[in-house]
Structure formats: C-alpha cells, structure tokens
Structure 1
Amino acid sequence: MMRWLAGLLAALGLAFAAPATAYWEYGHGVVARIALDNVRPETRAEIRRLMAQDELLQTPTCRIASIEDAAYWPDCIKRLGDRYAYAFSWHYQNVNICEPFDLSGPCKDGNCVAAQIERNARLLADRELPTRARVEALAFLLHFVGDLHQPMHAGDKGDLGGNRVDAHYGHIKGTNLHAIWDGYLAERAISTPPGGAEGLLSGYHAEEIAAMAGGNVVDWSREMWAVARDHAYPSLLDRDPCAGDVEEAATLSEEDVDRLIPVARESVVKGGLRLARLLDEAIVEGKAPPFRRF
C-alpha cells in the first residue's frame, strides 16, 4: 500500500513523498529486478535454483523468496550482529571527492564494495564450491552492485558517506545527505513514471543499454564517485563542495530534486545492467574478474 501511494504521489506531481521502503529495499530490489530481466535464460534459471536453497544460509529471519529478497539479504543480516559483522565495511568505499580518485586506501585488504563485487563474482563463478557459498555470493553480489550505484556509497568528504552532512528534504527536516540519496530521492526517482524496472529501462535504446553495461568495477567506482562530487554535494551548496564544510543544514528544493531525478534513475539502470552482465559471465561463462590489489 505504501509503495502504491508513493507512486501515486509521484504521478500527481506532489513534492517530497516520504520513502515507502527506501533505497536499502526498493533501490536494491529494482537494480536486481533489472538484472534478472536482462540476463540469459540459463542464468535466470540458475539464479532461481540457488535462491530456492536459501535455507542453507541458516538465516530464518532473512529468507530469500524473490530476487528482491536476495538483494536485500545483506542488509537484513546486519541485525544478526556479530555473526556477519565482518561484512559491514563491504557496503561502501569512502573515496574523497576533493582529492584525485584513488581506491587504494579505501579498498585496503579488500574491505570495500568494489573489491567485494569482484570477490563474490569469483565465488559465484566457482561451481566447485558448496552450494551454500554460492547462494551467499549471489546475494552479496546482487546487493553490492546496487550499493556501488548509490553515489553516497562511492564518494564522500570524510563524513561517512554524507551521514554527517545535515540536510532537509523539502518539508522533511532533520535528515542528512546520505539518507536523501538512500531513501527520499531514490524512492522519488524510481517511482516517477515510467517507474519500476521496466519503466526505467524504457527510456533507453538498445545501443545505449549495451554501452551502459560496459566497463569494470574501477570504471563504475570512478563514475559514481563523480556523481557524488558533481551532483550530490553541490545540490546542497551554491559553491564548490570542496571549498569548505556546510555550516548549516541546507534544504534540497523541489527544483533540485527535479534536476537530480534523471541522475538517480540513470545510476539505478546502470547498476542493473552491469549486474546482469556480471551474472551472465559468472554463471554461464564461469568467468569473473581476477584477484587484484586496488
């Protein structure tokens, strides 16, 4: 009901509808759905076979009944505390937008989202592994590609991905830059007609879709880092975001949101198409990025 209401409000042009489920569910689910709709039939069949064995994960409070559930699973298991605490830093990479792009520090020892995308693609591609390991790798891969394509997971100013940047989203007071991109803006962008996985893709030609699926995890990291630098932070400022910290909570206006919706929508589409390519390569071709030190 809440998701339907959010879509209706967007369709009517009402500003600043609150997020129904926010990026950590809705955004991840749409990225994964775009991927599932665009993989090869044999890839889709293997994904469903793996998801059907989610009981092997032994996480009864975080079950996988759909591709959306699988994409949300790595966030769901955070509530299990110490059991998966080692994975907390895998969801993001705080690359400073005010310095030259460099993953070597944020990705030291593989503890960043880019490294974990490649690692889990390798695990998924390895059919010699126990099924449980591949089910877990599938869920992590679905989720982490979505995380990377939320720009505040890819670039920041030493402020925990914008969590320390106080902001207002229209009449919604007391939020922050990260929450805006994770929830309020994501919900508005994805649900704006034509919304959902099919609607988001409808605005692109086949040649554009093929081009957006290209590149590697470093290319995607740099691209999303640039979105944080060129769009996310400047949306709250009337100056260079690296000229100093925001002293007071700024307000994202309706005009700002209108400018950012296409940026956010394109990021979701790119995430879904790139995820589809990784899934096809890992599952059908047994191919994945080689190990690297960033």
Structure 2
Amino acid sequence: MKNLKRIVVIIALAYMPFTAAAWGVLGHRIVGDIAESYINAKTRLAIKQILGTESIAMTANWADFIKSDTSYNYLSNWHYVNLPENLSKSDVFSFLSNQPSANIYNKTNEMIAVLKNPKSTMIQKKLALRMIIHLVGDLHQPMHTARKDDLGGNKIQLLWFGEKSNLHRVWDEGLIDFQQLSYTEYTKAINHTTPQQVLNWQKADLKDCVYESYTICNKIYTTGIKNDDKLSYKYNFDWIGTVNEQLLKGGVRLAGILNSIYK
C-alpha cells in the first residue's frame, strides 16, 4: 500500500506545473563537471568527506530529484527569485537586500554560512553542499530571475521544433538538449577559459550574478516571445552562445565559491 501511494505521489508530481527546475539534468551536470576542473585539492578533499564518491556533477540534480519527497517541499522556492521588469542594478541589489522570503539569493548565502560554520552537523553540511551546487547552477539560468506573473516563462506556451513546450523549459532543457551532447562532451566543447576570465568571473558576488542573469532575462523578454510562437533553428542560433557562456560561468563561479568556503 505504501509503495502504491508513493507511485501516485510521483505521478502527480510529474504532472504539476513546471515552475522551479533549472537547466534540466544535463545542464546541471555540465555546470558541476566544469566546476570539478577549477576546484583545488583542499576543496576536493573537503567535498569528498561530505559526498563520498559522488561527484559534483552527479550530485548537482539532487535538489530537483528530491521534489519527489514531499517532506522537502520547503525547498521549492529556493530555486529562483522573481524580479519586476526594468529595474536598475541598484534597484536589484536593494530588492535582494530587503527581500525576507526564501529565494535563490538569500538561501545560497545561508547554505554557504552552514558550510563555513564548524558547528554544523554532517547532515546539515550535506544538504548545504548539495543545495549550493544546484542553486549556483540555477542562478545562471536567466529565467530564474524572471517575472512572477508568468511563473518565470512557464505560462508562455509555445512550440519548440514542433513539440509543445514553454519559454522556461526551452531555456532549462530545449536549447541544451538540441546540441545532442552528453554532459562530459558538452563540458569539453565549452570549457575553454583564460586565467583572466576565471579571475573576473569569480570576483562577482551573488548579487552581481543575479543582476547578470536578470539583464539577460530582460533581453529574452524584449524579443517579444508570446503564446503559440514556433521556435526552432533561428532561436537556437540566436541564443546558444548565451546559454553556453552562462553554463561556463556557472561552473567557474561554483568552483570559486567552494574554494572560498574551504580556503
């Protein structure tokens, strides 16, 4: 009977409105795999003490997979921050500083603090590490800094190469999956940085990262995408460079955050 109830819950969750996942399985693994190449030996050892043999890439989707367990529902609004349109940089920073409800910015900071706290338990550390790995990836998906009224583009229904989708899902999965690469192949294809790029990207704090994604999000909206639009090759051509750069920045910055925690 318990197994039957569990199956029913999983099926129900599968058909719930798509509102919080980002990058999809492949995208999160790409971010995690890229991060693996920029963490130092001390960080690698600290992560191994928490995750064991599980790699950053493979733990990157835990925060989405755990949605099948209703006891973790409290994590759902950690994955994004809804921002009104046309805010200045100072407006965005002010919004983030004065937003008390759980969101991707304040919860990422909170999880960083948990890992830095020597009194945190191993259970607390494992949750914090898994969430940081996932949320930094989410933070670089521009539609996770989008509008509340359309659920971050989820309500904008369209066709992606003839298949029913929505604007959020196109950015989560459609553009990445269209490249037809495994996550390790994708990493090899885009993980080419200069030392100066790494230095500059890792200088950005979380507020900078939010604003950067928000700026891209505004550009996505200004293209005038609306319900029933048909997206395919042209949309891929126009935006895949942005997707790849955000994946790469996400991985580099994730490594920078982890290195700073364990310095």
Any idea what SS the aligned residue of 1:96 has? coil
Q: Quote the residue 2:83 is aligned against.
A: 95
Aligned with 1:251 (options 230, 237, 250): 230
Aligned with 1:136 (options 122, 127, 137): 127
Cα distance in 1 for residues equivalent to 2:221 and 2:63: 27
Cα distance in 1 for residues equivalent to 2:233 and 2:184: 19
Q: Under a length normalisation based on structure 1, what TM-score does the superposition of the two structures give? A: 0.75
Cα-to-partner distance string for 1:107-152 (whole Å, 9 max, x where unaligned): 7324110111111111111222111111110000000000111111
Task: Mark the CA change 1:192 to 1:32 in structure 2 (over 3 Å): closer, same or farther.
Answer: closer
Q: Quote the residue 2:33 is aligned against.
A: 33
Contiguous gaps of at least 5 residues in structure 2: 1-21
CA contact (8 A) 1:185 1:261 kept: yes
Cα-to-partner distance string for 1:180-233 (whole Å, 9 max, x where unaligned): 00111132358399942232112x322122212221111110100111111x22
How much has 1:74 moved relative to structure 2? 0.9
Which aligned segments of 4 or more residues in structure 1 are displaced greater than 6 angstroms?
A: none
Q: What count of residue pairs does the alignment treat as equivalent?
A: 239
Cα-to-partner distance string for 1:49-73 (whole Å, 9 max, x where unaligned): 2102xxxxxxxxxxx8332232111
Is it true that 1:261 corresponds to 2:240 in the alignment? yes
Cα distance in 2 for residues equivalent to 1:221 and 1:209: 18
The structure with the greater share of residues assigned to helix is 2
Q: Quote the residue 1:18 is aligned against.
A: none
**Which stretch of structure 1 is more off in the superposition, 42-51 or 208-217?**
208-217
Task: Mark the CA change 1:193 to 1:35 in structure 2 (over 3 Å): closer, same or farther.
Answer: closer
CA-based RMSD: 2.4
Q: Quote the residue 1:158 is aligned against.
A: 149
Q: Quote the residue 1:148 is aligned against.
A: 139
How much has 1:104 moved relative to structure 2? 5.7
CA contact (8 A) 2:35 2:56 kept: no
Aligned with 2:69 (options 64, 71, 80): 80
Any idea what SS the aligned residue of 1:191 has? coil
Q: Quote the residue 1:124 is aligned against.
A: 115
Q: Under a length normalisation based on structure 2, what TM-score does the superposition of the two structures give? A: 0.83
Task: Mark the CA change 1:190 to 1:45 in structure 2 (over 3 Å): closer, same or farther.
Answer: farther
